[in-house]
Amino acid sequence: MSDARERGTGLIEAAPSVMAILRKQRGITQIQLAQMIGKHQSFVSNMENGMRVRFAVLQKVADILGWAGDPRDLQRPYGTVPLKLKEDSTDEVQEA
């Protein structure tokens, strides 16, 4: 499975989303991102785990994180879409 990793427990854990990786690479916590978009931390957690949200919310998150691709791709598992960062984004994203 390309979007899941097996741990020693026998449970399958979903791969982190592009959004979660970019957020962490930018040094932004879920609480901080939630404040930036006017939501609660639990909303950001759920959004990073694939909860369907309005396109406008994803666009706002894309702008905050410097994402130049389709904002819907932020919710895809990391490694399944090419990284598309805005040119003015100075922070490099390292492989997770």
Tell me the DSSP string of 49-67. TT----HHHHHHHHHHHTB
Specify the 3-state DSSP secondary structure of 6: strand
pLDDT at res. 88: 66
pLDDT at res. 3: 43
The structure tokens listed for 80 are 């399944």
| pTM given for the model | 0.77
pLDDT < 70 regions, the chain: 1-13, 88-96
CA distance 67 to 57: 13
